Chains A and B, each alone.
Chain A
Amino acid sequence: MKNIATTLLATIVTTACLLATAAHAQDLGISAPPQRAPIVITGATVHTVAGPIIRNGYVVFENGVIREVGAGRAPRTRGARVINATGKHVYPGLIGADTIMGLTEIGAVRATHDSSEAGDITPEVRAAVAVNPDSTIIPVTRANGILTCGVLPQGGAIPGRAAVIRMDGWTWEDLAISADAGLVVNWPNMRPITAWWMQQTPEEQLKRAKERLAKIDEMFDAAEAYADARSADSSLPTDVRFDAMLPAMHGDTPVFIRANELEQMQSAVSWAAHHNLKAVIVGGRDADKCTHLLLRHKIGVIITGTHRLPGRRDKAYDAPFTLPLRLETAGVMWCLASGDETAHERSLPYQAGLAVAYGLPEDAAIRAVTLSAAELLGVGDRIGSLENGKAATLIITDGNPLDIISQIEMAFIDGREIDLNSKQTALDKKYREKYRQLGILPSQQSSGSR
């Protein structure tokens, strides 16, 4: 932050207080208040994502919404805070498309897990209501520029409904951009597994897969009948499961179908087409093998990470690194999620960066963790790019955020300047102080970074 010259106009006092408080609040970061004055970022390289990159550009946002993006001199804005970002870059906030952010805290501690409800078919549960706004993982993740997350429940054939959240707020309602972002379906495993740990025979497994498919089908058919019956007779008692499915069934929200293997995807796509659903594939390890099918049905893919091993011994060592490029080349709509533990969500940009090392154009990689992710999560009209009318959810960086050595210097969610500190930065400060006290580190305040 020290390198960005901020010119504070009307709101100078408030902001200064806020920053000071934030610095001392350690991990108990204060949620940013609503944007009170317009903010103008000038002199920056503006990566709009929706359009071309603007050198020496500006971004104006007010009341949480982007008002203007352009090149050269920024328009004079009354009462605005001007941030001179010369030599800096502005990007839309990055988006983690497939996470359980806020539904988990510590992997080994079961009490902190809220991502998987009991039962095979639980469309009625919503991720949004269980997101812990005070999760320690949220501030750490947003410090790396990830300002929005898709939260997809896990477990069972239909685990529940997804949410899209912003990474700052006092309550889960503050966090929710979309509290019903779509229905999650885990496509049954179509191909028998013969691993050493597998005790079921291939026949048993195939039978199980068939039963699960039938179960999913039955749920959709029954929900259809239920909807008809309800419209004919509104006195019919409510079934929370069917009610939960209707938006997705009517195409108002997407159906996120987890599928990795070719057979799963083929089966899922034809099922989705049959039910006329707005399907999105999540996983897509073999998606490059059925691009024609995905194109034909205009189905997008949330690739769950490049930080994976090739699935098979014979696969090229870089197969996971080049999957994004292969989908991009084929013209399939895709975005990149981390597919990693929630704690590692902060490294999502580096997963996109890895795809760049293996041939993906930089702008495609940026789009994959911004606008494309927003589109596939159904919020592409609100976030994901720097365009007039979109939420002012953006970051200011000293370089490409997909490169590890770049730093995120400022972040805004809906125009609110976000605290980039966390418990982790607080511990850093605390223990550097220990070594200063011991005389091991020099006692200047500046030793935090060299």
Chain B
Amino acid sequence: MTTTDTIQDLVPDKYKYGFVTAIDADTAPPGLNEATIHLISDRKQEPDWLRQWRLKALKHWLTMKPPHWAFLRYPEIDYQAISYYSAPKPARKDGPQSLDEIDPQIRQTYEKLGIPLEEQKALAGVAVDAVFDSVSVATTFKKKLAELGIIFCPISEAVRDHPDLVRQYLGSVVPYTDNFYATLNSAVFSDGSFAYIPKGVRCPMELSTYFRINAQRTGQFERTLIVADEGAYVSYLEGCTAPMRDENQLHAAVVELVALKDATIKYSTIQNWYPGDAQGKGGIYNFVTKRGACRGARAHISWTQVETGSAITWKYPSCILQGDDSVGEFYSVAMTNHHQQADTGTKMIHIGQRTRSTIVSKGISGGHGQNSYRGLVKILPGARHSRNYTQCDSLLLGDQCGAHTFPYIEVRNSSSRAEHEASTSKIAEDQLFYCHQRGLDEENAVALIVNGFCREVFKELPMEFAVEANKLLAISLEGSVG
């Protein structure tokens, strides 16, 4: 048996999170116009400044065209056929007052996903904000965090309770004019998480948001904003799943990170949206804008992502390194199988002096998957003595898939240095044979080698996530052998 045959036998068919929760939902009719914005703003009882901001974004969006430069093939999306708001109908009009009042159906959903919402059952040291379709349904450990002055709540709640903070930072990293999908998000974003870590505070637990798309023919447009004040530290985790549906669903999120002087933000994602079936039917279209700004000296932003889901992934978590000596990092594992397509990477914009960035990208393609790394490293004239190191490796698990690398390196001063290395290879027959000779069957041998390939990225994940990431990859490689 050749490697190719082997892998094809190992190709995943199991998406374990594909169930639908039957729940009474309040869903807006499909279509996008000013009335849609008013509906969202009304439902959320938003202040006028936010309503106006959304309307400006919509107006701008109507002048924009979707970008086509990515190495992705998909039919045009009919943005008028999508519903832009869906929320589970609450038992009480003013929403659940405590975790006990959450709809048991939703609670069960999260339990099935392995995210218990009861604090006593929760993973030790992880606070969770659970987002179900368009709204946040629960946030755990809020009280404990509040004692430290940490704000962690749904962004809609933050708009109400901490309007000044939200107003100061919302759109400051990703302006509403940024790009087609970010502009769309600015107009219609429903919910998401907000976190603020005050000066000098080290957040004692991992903050986490778990996104779940449930409703049909809806898009999910969450918006996350994390601000780490001077000297603060936070580690943030994001997980995502969706039911198996035949149609493609749109997910266009925006994440903004702001790290002030000496602050550190670690942002980890495990993206496991429904990838579509083996024939490429269905799956989530994932168009996400994630960007962090290192606004002060020695600020540090680190993105780690494990992308195994979605039919289409378009995503470039970026760092704007403004502060002198600030540091940006991007660690990524992206796996595409069947007919999945991913065009993902990062942008590192060096503005301050002695800024450093590291990029480690591991792409794995199987089936008919297309996997592209696209990254920009830009070192501006003022960013003297800056450094970038980039490493992109691709692993091919079949002869029908593709792996592509498109780095852009622009250096504009002579005291800086940018280095880029990339390689593409398949699992060598002799590696497999060596593993077999030591007693491992096909499935285990491939999983072991793939795991080793991803090690540099996995070691950046918080422990709880590293375990989940490992399992996820194992599921993705699970198959009929043995």
Does A associate with B in a complex?
no
